[in-house]
Amino acid sequence: MKTILLVLLICTFPAKLFAQELTQTVKGKVIDADTRGPLPGANIILLSGGTMAKGTSSDANGNFKLEKVPVGRQTFKITFLGYEEIFLNEIMVGSGREVVLNIEMKESVADLDEVTVYAYDDKSEPINQMATISATQITVESTSRIAAGINDPGRTAQSFAGVSSADDENNELVIRGNSPRGMLWRMEGIEIPNPNHFTNGEGGSGGGVSALSTQVLANSDFFTGAFPAEYGNALSGVFDLKLRNGNYEKHEYAFQLGVLGAQAALEGPLKKGSEASYLLNYRYSTLKILSKAGIDISGGDITPEWQDLSYKFYIPTKKAGYFSVWGLGGISSAGSTVAPDTSFWNYRSDRFRDTEDHQLGIAGITHNYLFPNSKTYIKTVAAYSHTKNEATVDSLDYDLRPATTENENFAYNTFSLNSFINHKFNAQHVLMGGFIFHNRGYNLDALSLNFDTGTLEQQVKSKGSTQVFESYVQWKYRLNEKVDINSGLHSSFLALNKDYSIEPRLGIRWDITKQHRINFGAGLHSKIEPVSVYLAERELNDGSIIQPNKDLKITKAAHVVLGYNWNFARDFRLKAEVYYQHLYDVPVDPNDSTNTVSSLNFSSGFTNEKLTNQGTGRNYGLELTLEKFFSNNWYMLTTASLFESKYTMPDGVERNTAFNSKYIFNVVGGKEFEVGKNKQNILGLNLRTMWRGGYRTTPLDLEASLAQNREVRDYSRAFETKVPDYYRVDCGISYRKNKPSWSWIVSLDIQNVSGRLNVWDEFYSPETGKVEINYMNGMIPILNYRVEF
């Protein structure tokens, strides 16, 4: 009888009482944003419904650990006496891996009772404390959440105001109408070569897919103009990538399988009882699965394949500071062949075959030393990089005999060093100064067929090295709790031709209230061309070889940006920026009859024609951003950009640049649902819509093309017309299942869900005597299954 009563009593209890509540450990480090020193005694509070659920404090080294945090989206509040409080909103806590937070706090210059009154709440504030405008922090969370972003930082950035893609097949960034070749990539505080697979050529900043996995990335900064003084060699934008440390207490693993291949990540402690850790990630990817499904992305029948390995080892010491050893390596290849049955050759392009092979290697070491006064630190980063890009194009006759039309082999080996000292005098004054050195070895060999003479001509053939020297100083002055003034100076010197650039910078940020902010940035910036541009060669009639562009000057630009931010409701922000850019000393071909050969019109490549610095350009526009930060399980980002991008040749006529699409509109959003018996699993839905004006093209002269049976364009109207507007809708769905000590995630992203065929360009076909169209990609589905434990 007692047994029956017990069973009945148990059955009356809600089933929820027996559902295991899944929890995870959240830990990390709290440091001063200016000195990088630890902040012992900082309070880390887990919020639930706006009130404290549990909390802890950081130890003498700034480390903290908060155990038994429920899985799901969680919000944390961090406070420390004399510092501005921080809210970390909607952090994903999963059952498979511990959450590690690196928290940087800014000392307040206000009286303690005024801190919460005047501190502007900026949920996307960049990591770099010297940045005042046109800068955004890109979180790992947002990178993994963007629909069809395929965990690529570049494709994530395409959703921001003023930024668009060059086309569907790569992640190049066209920023405020500038050529993508104006971008700077940095990793761990030092300039690196283009970190993408299938790079686009000399000077290109993008590629088919990123060589970096979000498994190793930490939150990073992205700039679209008026950069602080520590950044040089950039005209349009800066992507300052950072790598996270591995878990120093527990070994953790992640494996992923999908239609693009497989990925494995592992991390853990190097030594028990120490904060030393390792982090490794390897990927093998191929388009074979998509190709067999009838989805052609590459346009070639040699299926693209790529592999990459990234790593970071973090090694702290008791007296010598901390060291980290990090790196990235990748290889990729693709190409196309011809149909052996020539009866299938309908176009001239059908007789061409091509191959491309790419190598990327970066190895670096970072040392950070904090002086005993906890006010000064020195950071030094040294890196060695290797890139090799080979491309060959052959034209076959009807007997299948090949004749080479293009053969390029570019190899660079670069040693780079960046060292700076940072001193914080007090909460108001921070001074930083440093230098950058690059020793760039090169081995360049390029041949191109002259179709008029039928001979292969040497475009460049050179082996050697050159050096680049940069220095910078910047001062952050916090006038009061409302106004920050960041000023600085950057200089660059190219040893190859002894050209230099001196670049003052200024940034001002005024927090009018907690809801309103005005910011301003201005400065000079510059970009050094690829070595191949300077060393391109031509053969004269007497057989002598000259390098016509060796004395080409560094391209320069002046940026001015004014911005306004309004936090008009909880988690909502309206942001506006108006900008003007004047580009000068731009390389152009003064003898070009087409009036199109300006470096502002090309995303990559080089020429052996004689160039001069007689070109100029200007970009100006307005950008609006309406953002709802992730909270209450949903987010939204809407941007509108209206702009003009112009260039001028030596004839003095101002024309549209190739990238003057005039407008860009983006709508990004998503919603997460807590599902399952205990609401511990997450279903996510994401959407992205991209609409921009078509890029510029020079109109075809159909009458002349028909008469001459070859493509003829009307260059008296260079870049006057444009292709149809670009429009694309992406969507994504994901499901995270949390289980005790592990979790799995399945996701499906669809790029171009409507299958719309956006126009790349129009061309005249001599074979058909008609105007034909090159289209971009249609619908591309990306399915992944991931396990974390």
Strands 99-105 and 63-70: unpaired
- CA separation for the pair 361, 514 (Å, rounded): 45
Residue-level pLDDT at 400: 86
- pTM, two decimals, is 0.93
* CA–centroid distance for 673 within its chain: 29
Average of per-residue pLDDT across 58-68: 94
Alpha helices, DSSP H, located in 171-321: 288-292
Average of per-residue pLDDT across 131-152: 91
User: Cβ distance 314 to 218 under 8 Å?
Assistant: no
Least confident of 46-50, 67-71, 477-481, 533-537: 46-50
Locate the DSSP E strands across 371-454.
Answer: 376-396, 402-424, 429-450
Share of the chain above pLDDT 90, in %: 81
pLDDT-derived band at 555, boundaries 50, 70, 90: very high
Share of the chain above pLDDT 70, in %: 95
Express each pLDDT in 305-351 by its tens digit: 999 999 999 999 999 999 999 999 999 999 988 888 887 888 778 88
Strands 190-191 and 183-187: antiparallel
- CA separation for the pair 59, 39 (Å, rounded): 8
Average of per-residue pLDDT across 380-399: 94
User: Cβ distance 376 to 423 under 8 Å?
Assistant: yes
Q: Which helix (H) or strand (E) holds 787?
A: strand 780-788
- What 3-state DSSP class applies to 663? strand
pLDDT at 8 over 60: no
- Structure tokens that stand for 462 in this block: 């050179």
Residue-level pLDDT at 436: 98
pLDDT at 90 over 60: yes
Backbone angles phi, psi at 518, to 5 degrees: -120, 135
pLDDT at 117 over 80: no
User: Cβ distance 550 to 534 under 8 Å?
Assistant: yes
- CA separation for the pair 670, 630 (Å, rounded): 9
Residue-level pLDDT at 300: 66
Residue ranges of domains in the chain: 20-107, 237-788
Contacts of 13 (CB under 8 A, 6+ apart): none
pLDDT at 681 over 70: yes
What is the residue-wise DSSP string for 664-687? Answer: EEEEEEEEEEEESTTS-EEEEEEE
Residue-level pLDDT at 7: 36
Strands 483-494 and 43-48: unpaired
Same topology between domain 20-107 and domain 237-788: no
Backbone angles phi, psi at 53, to 5 degrees: -95, -40
771-to-717, 760, 766 alpha-carbon distances in Å:
18, 13, 9
Cβ-in-10-Å burial (0-12, 13-18, 19+) of 417 comes to: middle
Residue-level pLDDT at 594: 94
Strands 23-32 and 99-105: parallel
Please give the residue that has the higher pLDDT: either 624 or 16.
Answer: 624
Residue-level pLDDT at 494: 98
- CA separation for the pair 426, 65 (Å, rounded): 29
- Structure tokens that stand for 198 in this block: 């299938």
Backbone angles phi, psi at 70, to 5 degrees: -60, 145
pLDDT-derived band at 118, boundaries 50, 70, 90: very low
Express each pLDDT in 496-547 by its tens digit: 999 999 999 999 999 999 899 999 999 999 999 999 999 999 988 888 899 9
- CA separation for the pair 584, 576 (Å, rounded): 27
User: Cβ distance 220 to 242 under 8 Å?
Assistant: yes
Domain 237-788 has what CATH class?
A: mainly beta
- What 3-state DSSP class applies to 540? coil
Average of per-residue pLDDT across 356-385: 97
Residue type, 169: E
Locate the DSSP E strands across 528-653.
Answer: 538-539, 545-546, 555-569, 572-588, 612-631, 634-648
Residue-level pLDDT at 304: 92
Q: How many CB atoms lie within 10 A of CB 403?
A: 12
Residue-level pLDDT at 120: 61
Q: Nearest to residue 620, comparing CAs of 660, 564, 670, 649?
A: 660
Please give the residue that has the higher pLDDT: either 665 or 542.
Answer: 665
Least confident of 40-54, 176-190, 420-434: 40-54
pLDDT-derived band at 12, boundaries 50, 70, 90: very low
pLDDT at 582 over 50: yes
Residue-level pLDDT at 47: 92
- CA separation for the pair 392, 355 (Å, rounded): 5
Average of per-residue pLDDT across 476-489: 96
- What 3-state DSSP class applies to 565? strand
pLDDT-derived band at 220, boundaries 50, 70, 90: very high
| HSE-up of residue 323 (Cα within 13 Å, Cβ side) | 9
- What 3-state DSSP class applies to 11? helix
User: Cβ distance 171 to 615 under 8 Å?
Assistant: no
Domain 20-107 has what CATH class?
A: mainly beta
Residue-level pLDDT at 115: 44
pLDDT at 121 over 80: no
- Structure tokens that stand for 524 in this block: 């000079």
Residue-level pLDDT at 749: 96
Tell me the pLDDT of the chain averaged across its residues: 92
466-to-202, 233, 343, 471, 502 alpha-carbon distances in Å:
17, 15, 51, 17, 20
Express each pLDDT in 437-452 by its tens digit: 999 999 999 999 988 7
Please give the residue that has the higher pLDDT: either 298 or 335.
Answer: 335
Please give the residue that has the higher pLDDT: either 592 or 8.
Answer: 592
Q: How many CB atoms lie within 10 A of CB 463?
A: 11
- Structure tokens that stand for 245 in this block: 């440390």
pLDDT at 50 over 80: no
3-state secondary structure string across 229-258: CCCCCCCCEEEEECECCCCCCCCEEEEEEE
pLDDT at 16 over 60: no
Alpha helices, DSSP H, located in 89-213: 115-118, 140-145, 153-157
The position carrying tokens 């900082």 is: 42
Residue type, 3: T
- CA separation for the pair 141, 360 (Å, rounded): 26
Eight-class DSSP state of 600: G
Q: What count of residues does the chain have?
A: 789
- CA separation for the pair 651, 615 (Å, rounded): 10
Residue type, 138: I
- CA separation for the pair 326, 280 (Å, rounded): 10
pLDDT at 122 over 90: no
User: Cβ distance 285 to 260 under 8 Å?
Assistant: yes
pLDDT at 298 over 70: no
Eight-class DSSP state of 342: G
Residue-level pLDDT at 6: 39
Express each pLDDT in 244-273 by its tens digit: 999 999 999 999 999 999 999 999 999 988
361-to-285, 311, 390, 553, 778 alpha-carbon distances in Å:
18, 12, 15, 29, 32
Q: How many CB atoms lie within 10 A of CB 767?
A: 13
- What 3-state DSSP class applies to 129? coil
